[in-house]
Structure 1
């Protein structure tokens, strides 16, 4: 009896057109090589590696929300792409494809003080939030080719070398 490998897919897509602006859920994002998401607040910026695009696992958001007795909100971390069925930490140093786009995993997207402040409450302070999300915050990626990503697209690893566990 064989088991089917789990399918890695895009669950949700988001962008924000300005710093601090509300996230906009999208069914499709247009990406430009070396620039990021067309219309996103980080498009064309190079303040840090992997600024083009951020990804996070739906499972991590769901686990957090359940552990804190919060309603599940896949926009919670303000990442651009919410995936299901893939350990994003394993994509650091690897090329992968979503939709028409070739991407490269730059580094883990570790939590920042902004995330800590957004999620903190009277029983879970900023340092506790940051500690919880360390190693679970997702992935920063560079966009290597122009194209589009749609909700429901598969995530396929192109480069099987490298990566972090």
Structure 2
């Protein structure tokens, strides 16, 4: 299946440790194989992490359109920071990017799996958020090429050279 889109990075959120609220940043440095500098998961301090950095914990994304639909259907006051996803994007079909490589600013990510909401998110926020975000909870990614990203950066599919 061919995916075509022209998206934009609307916001960046990081938390220095598990359970800490996400904080907005205008730009962040991202390290290949590790994640976002200053975020709990790149520091090995994420919920249930035990110091090891798994690929699927490096960078998470959620679409503004998914949040808007979840709010409209559920009546819940869901925001980007409440979802605990690192990057808020617009115009990006995240569910179609599993096993695809794409660029956010200077950084190249590979979509690994949907970031379905979990019981932990519901405990930290409010009842029924899991159901509201079901099948639209975002995307877990691994960082293939690091660099700096900034709010306003383009999000686009990339073709990697064949080896």
TM-score higher than 0.5: yes
Provide Cα deviations, 1:93-124, integer angstroms capped at 9, x if missing partner: 01111111111111111111022234434xxx
Q: What is the Cα deviation at residue 60 of structure 1?
A: 1.0
Contact 1:35 1:52 in 2 (8 A): yes
Q: Is the 8 A contact 1:15 1:23 kept in 2?
A: yes
CA deviation after TM superposition for structure 1 residue 65, in Å: 2.1
Match of 2:117 in 1: 111
Which stretches of structure 1, 4 residues or more, deviate above 6 A after TM superposition? none
Larger Rg: 1
Question: Offset of 1:73 from its aligned partner?
Answer: 2.4
**2:5, 2:93 within 8 Å by CA — same for their partners in 1?**
no
In the other structure, the counterpart of 1:154 is 154
Secondary structure of the structure 1 residue equivalent to 2:80:
coil
SS of alignment partner, residue 105 of structure 1 = strand
Label 1:47 to 1:146 Cα distance change in 2 as closer, same or farther (>3 A).
closer
Q: Where do 1:1-165 residues align within 5 Å? A: 7-43=6-42, 45=44, 46=52, 48-71=54-77, 73-121=79-127, 128-159=128-159
Q: TM-score, normalised by structure 2?
A: 0.83
Q: Does 48-57 or 84-93 show the bigger shift?
A: 48-57
Runs of at least 5 residues in structure 2 that lack an aligned partner in the other structure:
45-51
Matched residue SS, 1:103: strand
Aligned length in residues: 150
- Secondary structure of 2:136's partner? coil
